[in-house]
Chains A and B, each alone.
Chain A
């Protein structure tokens, strides 16, 4: 009896040692790979002459210092600058809000057709899903640049780009939510003679709408960032103002815009977390 126990302990110990060895090996390989990537990255970058690490580290604080000293030198006028760029900020936010709203509405309808538990026709489901995949796989920036080229500068190309991407991104999440919802209410409605739309309206939507809205709010937050970025390529708003000021090196203005953006993004972050917690009761997405 005792011998077998000893034996099995030995066996386990041996296994443990073997595992520890494999693990150590993996760790060494992993660290080696990381070190290799970092050194080769640094060497590669120096070779490309695309900015040197050591020179860059020396100048690391130059720009932030310039920004703060510029804003300091502007004194009280700096707050006036903040006021000047606020309307631009609202244009950017409004662009994001409107495109998110349009994308949300389209995504709700498309997601119903991409859910196997609501649509029995396989062709419709896979066609809708592929459409959503295509819409999602192109980043807003790519669609926006193409549309800006075709339609000229303005907010409209950016609006369409964010809209299309939002439909793709939200549509997939929505259809997953619909597919995971409880089908019992739907069956109950069906047994009472409810039609397809009535089953969706009273059986599915009440279950998934809170989740839909929380996804939508998260998307709004992402889209505010996206519409700022699209401003850089000619969609107007605060992104364009930031780009202009950076190319002119107007430090106080850059500082004002950055401050506005940081405040907006942080506020949105907190707001969306709060609203989402209210909506879905703290369920982690």
Chain B
């Protein structure tokens, strides 16, 4: 009895010893990880996110993706001449929009904004009437030396609503997200945002600028020609295709270019990868030197990133299809070659032996003994790489290889056309999702597995 108890105790002690050692290792590892994380939080200055993040900029950015703005510009020196623009001076309206009524400097031109309030642009002042919460209209003008001011508030700025920011050279008025007034020493600007992507189908220079999409579809089948030289259908399609604000043609061509990059690149990778994989497989090629050098070649092709390959080819081919296609082909010849040579080595040798027993020569043994075994892997891997190469082509495209990536980066970095950025982002996402679905379906049809 006593002996059995002592055994149990001994075992317990042993277990405890083990557990404490395990615990010590665990604690050390956790301490190192936590230490590293803490150090990195400090090094990357993670808390500064809150400081760097400007909600105002983010809001503007978001707003610009789904809304467009019209700009009413008045220069104080020539106050009688007020210009109304679409977006940032892309296009000056020839006819005044319905919300703008022009008049002389004494009566003032009126800019209607939402909830019944309006701006009045007079010779020396801009007035905001009827905004909820305002007892009297706000009157913006200038001091004698030209700096902007708000009449009647010069000595009591605290009484202004909090959506007005008054600095030395600028007054910024933003009663809500969709309305903005900026008063400078030289000019006053009203920004009037409205929802939607304007001119998406037809740009302002088009004869169909004010026609809605569905009306245009109807127009395509009507017999009265808008332009006597051209049928309505071809006019409508032409105007959409050559839209100068949304660049449908350029974007579609760029998408096609990106897609072709991925397609050609993957195709050539598969074309060269498979035979090279056979040459690099132990059960096919008896020559050690050949195998060794091929494996190092695969490593080299794979080890040089797709980005670096694209930079190398960029010098030779310039931005465009070939740069991307070659970069993808080089990288993936390495990847597919390595992968397939491993698959070939893992293939069952019994089938090959069976073919050999019929007296077939070497090439036939490989063709009927090994190829059928690795074909499903080969097809599914090639399709997977095609999918990932479509994404990759967008990225190396942005780094200079051309296609939709470059267009996207360009639009992003100019920082003014966020609706175009959003449009392209949606197109790219749709393309990627579509390719994924198609390739999954193709895999199912070809090899019966997902």
Contact = CB atoms under 8 A, between A and B. Distances in A.
A27 to B, nearest CB: 13
Contact of A141 (B36, B299, B398, B402): B398
Nearest to A98: B40
Interface in A239-261: 242, 246, 258, 261
A34 B307 contact: no
A192 interface: no
Interface in B316-353: 316-323, 325
Contacts of A149: 61, 412-413, 415
A101 interface: yes
Given A53-B317, A150-B57, A150-B61, A142 B425 contact: yes
Interface in B396-413: 398-399, 402, 408-409, 412-413
Nearest to B60: A150
A246 B317 contact: no
A139 B260 contact: no
B52 interface: yes
A139 B61 contact: no
A137 B412 contact: no
B260 A37 contact: yes
Interface residues of B, number: 59
Contacts of B54: 150-151
Contacts of B33: 101
A51 B317 contact: yes
A63 B394 contact: no
A229 B399 contact: yes
A34 B246 CA distance: 32
Given A63-B312, A261-B305, A146 B61 contact: yes
- For B44, B61, B308, which residue has the most chain A Cβ atoms within 10 angstroms? B44
Interface residues of A, number: 52
Contacts of B399: 229, 232
A146 B412 CA distance: 8
A177 to B, nearest CB: 17
A52 B253 CA distance: 17
Which label, helix, strand, loop or mixed, suits the secondary structure of the A interface? helix
B322 A56 contact: yes
A266 interface: yes
B84 interface: no
A121 B421 CA distance: 38
Contacts of B402: 50
Interface in B273-321: 299-300, 302-305, 307-308, 311-313, 315-321
Contact of A160 (B49, B318, B425): B49
B263 A258 contact: no
Contacts of A258: 304, 308
B264 A155 contact: no
A280 interface: no
Interface string A40-59: 01001100101111001101
B46 interface: yes
Interface in A90-146: 94-95, 98, 101-102, 137-139, 141-142, 145-146
Contacts of B299: 266, 269
Contact of B264 (A41, A150, A151): A41
Contacts of B307: 225, 228-229, 232
B260 A98 contact: no
Interface string B404-444: 00001100110100000000010001001100000000000
B230 interface: no
A11 B442 CA distance: 30
Contact of B44 (A34, A98, A229): A98
A88 B311 CA distance: 19
B37 interface: yes
A265 B305 contact: yes
A44 B263 CA distance: 14
Contacts of B398: 141, 233
A262 interface: yes
B391 interface: yes
Contacts of B37: 98, 101-102
A156 B52 contact: yes
A60 B395 CA distance: 22
Interface in B25-71: 33, 36-37, 40, 43-46, 48-49, 52-54, 57-58, 61
B412 A60 contact: no
B267 interface: yes
A152 interface: yes
A156 B316 contact: no
Contacts of A102: 37
B323 to A, nearest CB: 7
18 contacts: A38-B267, A41-B263, A45-B321, A50-B318, A51-B320, A51-B323, A94-B40, A95-B44, A98-B36, A101-B33, A141-B398, A142-B408, A150-B53, A151-B52, A154-B52, A155-B44, A258-B308, A269-B302
Given A44-B257, A56-B318, A149-B61, 20 more contacts: A37-B263, A41-B260, A41-B263, A41-B325, A48-B257, A50-B320, A52-B317, A62-B315, A62-B316, A63-B312, A98-B40, A101-B36, A139-B394, A156-B44, A156-B52, A225-B307, A229-B395, A233-B409, A258-B308, A261-B305
